């Protein structure tokens, strides 16, 4: 069995005349926590939407676990969009149960067991009967994560999952993401904060739909030539380098 979770080959995508993803190729291995880092408008969300099948490439190809993303294989993916995207009148339990049902957990008893497990995991057991509209922003993010992982998918796409979270919850999220990758799941996280970047096993820095750097956080820091560099400085270093290369062409 191939060890490649995601293979992207020469991917290009345009919104009208605007090129959002530009000739991007990338391979992500199974069991990795992979970070898509970049400023707003760098193409992170578009790339995730392409990977979950919401958008189709104009040019190039995407393979998720060996197949092009389609509704038929959507069960192998979990998707947490940037907006919480929840049914606000429904309770925490009803939201997670609904997504469990549409992702194929048909057996009522097993589904209840899994939904309870996920509610405990996102630490909302006391709020399980509370309508989502009455929850804080951070709690809604946790419900949204629960909806994305309830069917235990091998591929999990998380678009800015830690936005609006308290630092302690953010740490809990990352501990959980790491436990998922240890159990063989592959996690693709988009973020624009370097704090998230530091938790990823591997990263790409994106700018204007192109990869400007790829490697482990340590590799990216070392590539700047300074051992004490943080990821934020490393990102700025790669931006300047890509601009220089562009000007030289």
Q: Which residues contact 113 (CB under 8 A, 6 or more apart)?
A: none
Residue 74 interacts with other proteins (CB under 8 A): yes or no: yes
- CA–CA gap between residue 67 and residue 62 (Å, rounded): 8
Q: Any idea of the CA torsion for 98, 169, 232, 18, to the nearest 10 degrees?
A: 20
57 binds other proteins (CB under 8 A): yes
Is the CB of 87 or the CB of 176 nearer to other proteins? 87
Judged by CB under 8 A, the residue of 35, 43, 53, 154 near other proteins is 53
Does residue number 89 form part of the binding site for other proteins (CB under 8 A)?
Answer: yes
Answer whether 207's CB lies under 8 Å from 242's CB: yes
Using the rule CB under 8 A, which residue among 31, 41, 131, 138 binds other proteins?
131
Residues in the chain: 249
- Per the CB < 8 A criterion, the answer to whether 96 and 146 are in contact is yes
Q: How far apart are CA 8 and CA 219, in angstroms?
A: 22
Could you say whether residue 67 binds other proteins (CB under 8 A)? no
User: DSSP 3-state assignment of 43?
Assistant: coil
54 binds other proteins (CB under 8 A): yes
Is the Cβ of residue 98 or residue 176 nearer to other proteins in the bound state? 98
Residue with tokens 């990352």: 174
By beta-carbon proximity to other proteins, the closer residue of 87 and 201 is 87
Q: Which residue among 2, 10, 39, 58 contacts other proteins (CB under 8 A)?
A: 58
Among residues 15, 25, 166, 246, the one that binds other proteins under rule CB under 8 A: 15
Q: In whole angstroms, how close is the CB of 57 to other proteins at the nearest point?
A: 7
Alpha carbon separation from 4 to 29, 91, 161, 186 (Å, rounded): 4, 37, 24, 10
Residues that bind other proteins (CB under 8 A): 13-16, 20, 52-58, 70-72, 74-75, 77, 79, 81-90, 94, 98-99, 101-104, 106, 131, 147
């Amino acid at each position: 069995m191939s060890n490649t979770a995601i293979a992207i080959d020469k991917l290009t995508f345009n919104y009208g005349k605007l090129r959002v993803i530009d000739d991007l190729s990338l391979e992500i291995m199974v069991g990795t926590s992979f970070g898509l880092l970049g400023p707003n408008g760098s193409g992170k969300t578009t790339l995730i939407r392409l990977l979950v099948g919401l958008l189709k490439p104009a040019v190039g190809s995407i393979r998720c676990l060996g197949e092009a993303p389609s509704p038929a294989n959507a069960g192998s993916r979990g998707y947490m969009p940037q907006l919480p995207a929840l049914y606000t009148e429904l309770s925490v339990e009803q939201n997670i149960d609904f997504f469990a049902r549409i992702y194929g957990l048909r057996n009522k008893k097993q589904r209840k067991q899994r939904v309870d497990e996920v509610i405990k995991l996102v630490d909302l057991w006391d709020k399980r009967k509370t309508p989502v509209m009455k929850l804080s922003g951070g709690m809604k993010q946790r419900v949204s994560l629960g909806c994305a992982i309830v069917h235990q998918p091998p591929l999990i796409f998380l678009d800015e999952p830690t936005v609006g979270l308290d630092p302690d919850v953010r740490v809990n999220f990352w501990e959980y993401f790491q436990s998922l990758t240890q159990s063989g799941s592959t996690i693709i996280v988009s973020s624009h904060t370097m704090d998230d970047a530091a938790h990823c096993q591997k990263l790409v820095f994106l700018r204007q739909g192109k990869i400007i750097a790829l490697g482990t956080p340590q590799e990216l820091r070392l590539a700047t030539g300074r051992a004490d560099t943080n990821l934020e400085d490393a990102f700025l270093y790669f931006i300047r380098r890509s601009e220089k290369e562009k000007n030289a062409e």
